[in-house]
Amino acid sequence: MRERIAIGVCLLVLTVLVALSYLFAVRHNPDAAAAAVPVSGADVAPTTGAPAMPVETTPLREPGRATIDPTPIPGVAGAEAERGRALFVQHGCATCHSIAGAGNPRNPLDGVGSRRDAEAMRDWILGTGAAAGQLPVTVRRRKERFQQLPAEDLNALVAYMASLKTGNRTGTEQ
């Protein structure tokens, strides 16, 4: 009899654990199905030979948040901003940051082009200047690698960040 009770308790605990895991995943990954985008089979990072993170081809939307289209706005440094978007993906910036709900939600960049000027964005990317005093030491160390970027790559990243304004193509405010 005790054995059957023990097996029943184990199954109940396992069921509760699986249910809680599912709820946690859904809560922390809203609209995960909408985030799935087609990826071409030839996506490879040019410098490492490792598979590159897929570039989203459609804007991602999170319920209850302002709609920010992560693609650059035409006329706002067009090709340079698109190159910056590719660099954002190539360097794995979504590990620490999110845009329109895609990436790490702890540090969203939605609307950053409306809040910061180019010099401030450059400081935040590099972890220098005024941003250095606001960033933890571990984050500043992690951002040191961006100090080795060629100037044209850094300018492209800044152009992409500048193109991320509140109300991109939708007129909504964040």
State residue 77's pLDDT score. 52
Highest mean pLDDT among 15-19, 43-47, 88-92: 15-19
User: 134 with 48, same domain?
Assistant: yes
pLDDT band at 46 (very low <50, low <70, confident <90, very high): very low
State residue 31's pLDDT score. 54
- Per-residue tokens: 78: 């067009």
Q: Is 139 part of any domain?
A: yes
- Residue pair 30/65 in contact (Cβ under 8 Å)? The answer is no
User: 56 with 9, same domain?
Assistant: no
User: 64 with 109, same domain?
Assistant: yes
Query: What is the distance between the alpha carbons of residues 65 and 100, in angstroms, rounded to a whole number?
Result: 8
User: 24 with 101, same domain?
Assistant: no
> What's the whole-number mean pLDDT along residues 3-20?
94
Total domains present in the chain:
2
User: 10 with 79, same domain?
Assistant: no
More confident residue, 138 or 62: 138
HSE-up (13 A, CA, CB side) for residue 141 = 3
DSSP 55-71: PPSS----TTS-----S
pLDDT at position 55 over 60: no
Q: Is 67 part of any domain?
A: yes
- Per-residue tokens: 133: 């005093």
What's the gap between Cα 30 and its chain centre? 14
User: 82 with 47, same domain?
Assistant: yes
More confident residue, 151 or 174: 151
User: 46 with 18, same domain?
Assistant: no
User: 108 with 44, same domain?
Assistant: yes
Q: Is 150 part of any domain?
A: yes
Q: Is 106 part of any domain?
A: yes
User: 81 with 121, same domain?
Assistant: yes
CATH code of residue 138: 1.10.760
User: 3 with 83, same domain?
Assistant: no
- Paired residues of 155 in beta bridges: none
More confident residue, 81 or 69: 81
State the residue range of the domain holding 159: 40-163
User: 60 with 23, same domain?
Assistant: no
pTM greater than the 0.85 cutoff: no
Q: Is 168 part of any domain?
A: no
Q: Is 169 part of any domain?
A: no
Q: Is 158 part of any domain?
A: yes
Residues 6+ apart with CB under 8 A from 3: none
> CA 169, 146, 143, 135 torsion: positive or negative?
negative
Q: Is 109 part of any domain?
A: yes
pLDDT at position 30 over 60: no
User: 139-173, pLDDT tens digit by residue?
Assistant: 888 888 888 889 899 899 999 988 888 754 433 33
User: 57 with 143, same domain?
Assistant: yes
Largest CA distance in the chain: 75
